[in-house]
Amino acid sequence: MDKVRLGIIGLGNMGSGHIQHLKAGQVPRCELAAVCDIDAAKLKKYPDVKGFTDSAKMIRSGLVDAVLIATPHYFHTTIGIDALNNGLHVLTEKPISVHKADAMRLIAAHEAHPELVFAAMFNQRTDPHYIKIKQLIEQGELGKIQRTNWIITTWFRSEAYYRSGGWRATWGGEGGGVLLNQCPHNLDLFQWLCGMPSAVTAIGGIGKYHDIEVEDDITAMFEYPNGATGVFVTTTGEAPGTNRLEIAGTRGKLVCEGGRLTFTRNEIPADEYSKNTKSSFGVPSVWNIDIPVGGGNGEQHIGIKKNFVAAILDGAKLIAPAEEGLHSVEMANAMLYSMMTGKRIELPLDEKKFEAHLKKLIKSSTFVKKDTVKTEVDFAKSQA
């Protein structure tokens, strides 16, 4: 096999963006072999490619080696399982599933077919800033991590956005709000860089800034197994918003904000200084380092697709194995569960309890969506 025949499922904002990349030849050795959407009108935009309104038929057509799933979230699980069970490689959009129990079902389907490549569209893992932070942490430059903090409130969304699709911002259609749609990227990076917390406590708001039935505001506190603490703040209701990641360790502090990565490095690690200094109020001297990071924001969606193709054709290591998508789902579920129950949630999250909680929300929903409106979405700007 010298090229991958890819089928794209879901031809909305993101699916059509992926198609643009393929059509522009930005993903070498990958051919757009088929497209699928339950909305037949969307197939007409691609008259030169075989179209399907049923993903099951595309999966069994023999026309594709792999699928990219860009549908509303619940279908990532069902279509992903169907594709893996039928011998296709799968690249799924984020989140890999709506809730942990579904993510485990999807991962189990891959475990039954380990020969298949199964990746997730965590495009922000290609951003050189985060790659550099990961390197610095792994090399021990920060020492022991003591505190993490991510304020990510640049996900502002309007009422028109929430009305742009019937599935959006509903328990039954999307399964959650800002934690599940916009934040999977940040939560994935957060756990990729700093590891998983062992407990989560959150406050926030359901439909606080928008006419929606899901969360659009969260402030969460994390406890990590090594005793470190963390804070995660997000909303779709604040403008201009902030995107500031700060990680403090015994050897210094890393800050990533506004495209700049800075490292304030302690000349002597803080714990060592504290033990040995005779001074009551002294602090370690620091070096202020602006870490040069070239390459803009990296290859993003194109990079993940290229890596998926290379994994299939050359056995390349995946940038974002889908299995790792379980963590961001679990963190999102735990924060929502804590916020709605007022409880501190220990991880691993009880997936059955959370699934039952979500089912209850779906069943008891009385929310009526206002008219769906057509909006202009620039997927490259939306990033989630």
Min CB(38)–ligand NAD separation in Å: 4
Please state, in angstroms and rounded to a whole number, the distance separating the CA atoms of residues 16 and 23. 10
* Residue 42 within binding range of ligand NAD, rule CB under 6 A: yes
* Residue 73 within binding range of ligand NAD, rule CB under 6 A: yes
Min CB(383)–ligand NAD separation in Å: 5
Two structure tokens written together for 57: 């038929």
Among 23, 39, 267, 285, contact with ligand NAD (rule: CB under 6 A): 39
Q: Which is nearer to ligand NAD, 122 or 222 (CB)?
A: 122
Q: Which is nearer to ligand NAD, 103 or 248 (CB)?
A: 103
CB-neighbour burial class of residue 219 (10 A; exposed 0-12, middle 13-18, buried 19+): middle
Min CB(379)–ligand NAD separation in Å: 6
Distances (CA, A) of 21 to 24, 38, 95, 256, 363: 5, 22, 21, 29, 39
* Residue 384 within binding range of ligand NAD, rule CB under 6 A: yes
Q: Give the chain as a 3 state SS string.
A: CCCEEEEEECCCHHHHHHHHHHHCCCCCCEEEEEEECCCHHHHCCCCCCEEECCHHHHHCCCCCCEEEECCCCHHHHHHHHHHHHCCCEEEECCCCCCCHHHHHHHHHHHHCCCCCCEEECCHHHHCHHHHHHHHHHHCCCCCCEEEEEEEECCCCCCHHHHCCCCCCCCCCCCCCCCCCCCCHHHHHHHHHHHCCCCEEEEEEEECCCCCCCCEEEEEEEEECCCCCEEEEEEECCCCCCCEEEEEEECCEEEEEECCEEEEEEECCCHHHHHHHCCCCCCCCCEEEEECCCCCCCCCHHHHHHHHHHHHHHHCCCCCCEHHHHHHHHHHHHHHHHHHHHCCCEECCCCHHHHHHHHHHHHHHCCCCCCCCCCCCCCHHHHCC
Q: Which is nearer to ligand NAD, 99 or 265 (CB)?
A: 99
Q: Which is nearer to ligand NAD, 241 or 284 (CB)?
A: 241
Min CB(200)–ligand NAD separation in Å: 22
Among 4, 27, 36, 83, contact with ligand NAD (rule: CB under 6 A): 36
Q: Which residue is nearest to ligand NAD (CB)?
A: 12
Among 18, 37, 151, 322, contact with ligand NAD (rule: CB under 6 A): 37
* Residue 55 within binding range of ligand NAD, rule CB under 6 A: yes
Among the residue ranges 37-45, 108-116, 259-267, 361-369, the one whose residues contact ligand NAD (CB under 6 A): 37-45
- x-marked contacts with ligand NAD along 292-321 as a string, rule CB under 6 A: ------------------------------
Q: Which is nearer to ligand NAD, 3 or 50 (CB)?
A: 50
Please state, in angstroms and rounded to a whole number, the distance separating the CA atoms of residues 96 and 102. 9
Among 72, 80, 175, 237, contact with ligand NAD (rule: CB under 6 A): 72
- Enumerate residues 108-147 that contact ligand NAD by CB under 6 A: 121, 123
Min CB(174)–ligand NAD separation in Å: 8
* Residue 179 within binding range of ligand NAD, rule CB under 6 A: no
Among 4, 7, 8, 10, contact with ligand NAD (rule: CB under 6 A): 10
Q: Which is nearer to ligand NAD, 175 or 249 (CB)?
A: 175
Among 93, 127, 188, 299, contact with ligand NAD (rule: CB under 6 A): 93
Please state, in angstroms and rounded to a whole number, the distance separating the CA atoms of residues 49 and 72. 22
Cis peptide before 240 (omega within 30 of 0): yes
Among 46, 75, 130, 171, contact with ligand NAD (rule: CB under 6 A): 75
Among the residue ranges 66-74, 206-214, 217-225, 278-286, the one whose residues contact ligand NAD (CB under 6 A): 66-74
Min CB(282)–ligand NAD separation in Å: 46
- What residues line the site for ligand NAD (CB under 6 A)? 9-15, 36-39, 42, 55, 70-73, 75, 93-94, 121, 123, 165, 181, 379, 382-384
